[in-house]
Amino acid sequence: MSEGVMDTTEGVGAATGRANALRAAAVVGFFLLVTAGTFAVDARYLYFSAYLWFGFIYGMSLQYGRFCMASAIRDLFAVGVPRMAVGIMIAVVLFSLVSAAVTLTGRSTFHPSPLGLYSVVGGAIFGFGMVFTGGCATGSLYKTGEGSVSALLVVLSLSFAQALFVDVGGLLDKLVPAAWTASAAAKGMPPEVSVTHGWYDQFLAGYIWDLKAVIVGDALGFHSPVARAFVGNSLLNAIVPAALLLVVIYAVWYRKGYLRKHKHLPPGLATEFAGWWSMVTASKRTAIAGLVLGVAAGVQMWVVQALQQKFGISNAGELLSAMGHKEGLSLQETVFDPGYFYVTTQEAQGAAWVLHKLGMDVTGNIFFGLENGIPNPLFNPVLWMSFSVIGGSMVMALLNNEFKLKFPTREIATWAITGGILMGLGARIGMGCNIGAFFATVTNGDPSGWLFAAGMTGGGWLGVKFFNWWIERKMAREAPLGF
């Protein structure tokens, strides 16, 4: 904001502020009640509540910093604003440092993804779709918490698109390479998952499972655990690439404006560094959100692993089984339980559970049937995290008088659903979204996340090109003054 700006808030008076504070307290009270009530019933619900409260912190931070990866890519290409891309790089650096410390304690829950071109393809489809929706997977959750019904449509379409995509066969089966089918058939899968039927099953068993996962610290052969975690995983796989990206972002999108405003500074490295630092600290809200997200995401891994040790489990499926909630467990009696910040898979589970209740069998596949299950959303700890991201964001929006229930127009709803479907397809092909396939991977020594990010950036760039064309065409027809 410029100096001397007149900043007024008309009508958002003390009464409205008080009412919103009460509403925020009610949301917090609800989550506290859930935590206390379920704990009173069975202490093992603590595992669920851990996910819940980390989700709540993520939701508050995301809303506070307007933290959204769709915004990071889109605003760079569409309006030349690097604010969010910078915030994300800050979060990457911090999350990687905390992750390295957690890895050293032996309590990391992270599992690397295989390294392959699928990450670029999935990232590109996801990135293209998220330009249309107005938010990434996490951005849509926090915007739902702000009262945006279009963001809720994104979450729903993303969830149902995934649930249907992993089970669909028919014409898609004809696109499966014969090598995938042969490799999948050779895996000796249980007959219930009918592994040679369905595009996604053969993609997983016949392609993904044949790829190798890489952890940079291990691949470089560091003997010292400290060097493996902090030099290999954090410094080389996260901090150096993030710093290089910040230099590129500065050179392309920030430097010109900074030097124009600081003509009095002598040219040289000191001025360039001052400009770079000015970019990093330009948006305090985004930087603070990045800081909290990075630290909390690392601590969550430690907490979930500590709880797994406490309850003597390695997957929440064992806990659910012991607690008598056997509905929706996978063939291996497991459920999706990453142990860290994740978004899309649990939402796909929720959608699949609804489809199942409506009479559709979507469990005859690897994704749900063999690995993740479709537990009742009330007993899905990871889905508790998604709900509480919305709750945390709602609390922050209420406290800042920014909550507003907004229903979309038909145009916005169409963009939301179309983009959400593309994001769902991209997330499944890329084995995760902007969080699971990027944020959680690059910060834990897994380079596959950078491939996803490259695809997401390329898809985002293409999406912005398309969107610009669409808006210009629309305005040429509708706006009296044209554009």
Please identify, using beta-carbon distances, which residue of 257 and 458 lies nearer to other proteins: 257
Residue among 415, 433, 426 nearest 338 (CA): 433
Please identify, using beta-carbon distances, which residue of 280 and 304 lies nearer to other proteins: 280
Total residue count of the chain as it appears in this document: 483
Say which residues have a Cβ less than 8 Å from residue 2's Cβ, sequence separation at least 6. Answer: none
Q: Under the criterion CB under 8 A, does residue 138 sit at the interface with other proteins?
A: no
The binder of other proteins chosen from 42, 309, 468, 469 (CB under 8 A): 468
Binding segment (CB under 8 A) for other proteins, from list 31-39, 44-52, 158-166, 475-483: 475-483
* Site size toward other proteins, by CB under 8 A: 65
Please identify, using beta-carbon distances, which residue of 71 and 305 lies nearer to other proteins: 71
> Residue 114 CA to chain centroid, in angstroms?
18
Binding segment (CB under 8 A) for other proteins, from list 109-117, 143-151, 319-327, 368-376: 143-151
Token pair for 192: 């219930």
Helix 410-429 with 149-165: angle, nearest 10 deg: 40
Collapsing DSSP to helix, strand or coil, 148 comes out as strand
We find the least distance from the C-beta atom of residue 12 to other proteins, in angstroms, to be 6
We find the least distance from the C-beta atom of residue 56 to other proteins, in angstroms, to be 20
We find the least distance from the C-beta atom of residue 408 to other proteins, in angstroms, to be 8
Q: Under the criterion CB under 8 A, does residue 79 sit at the interface with other proteins?
A: yes
Token pair for 109: 């829950």
What is the residue whose two structure tokens read 């009479």? 359
Distance CA 298, CA 288 (A): 16
Amino acid (1-letter code) at residue 321: S
Q: Under the criterion CB under 8 A, does residue 134 sit at the interface with other proteins?
A: yes
Token pair for 261: 């405003």
* CA 371 vs CA 189, 200, 330: distances in Å: 12, 13, 6
Q: Under the criterion CB under 8 A, does residue 221 sit at the interface with other proteins?
A: no
Distance CA 387, CA 52 (A): 8
CA count, 13 A, side-chain hemisphere, 23: 22
Q: Under the criterion CB under 8 A, does residue 402 sit at the interface with other proteins?
A: yes
Q: Under the criterion CB under 8 A, does residue 472 sit at the interface with other proteins?
A: yes
The binder of other proteins chosen from 187, 285, 326, 356 (CB under 8 A): 285
> Residue 102 CA to chain centroid, in angstroms?
21
Footprint of other proteins on this chain (CB under 8 A)?
1-2, 4-13, 16, 66, 68, 70-71, 74-75, 78-84, 131, 134-135, 143, 146, 148, 150-151, 253-254, 257, 260-261, 282-283, 285-286, 397, 401-404, 406, 408-409, 411-412, 464, 467-468, 471-472, 474-475, 478-481, 483
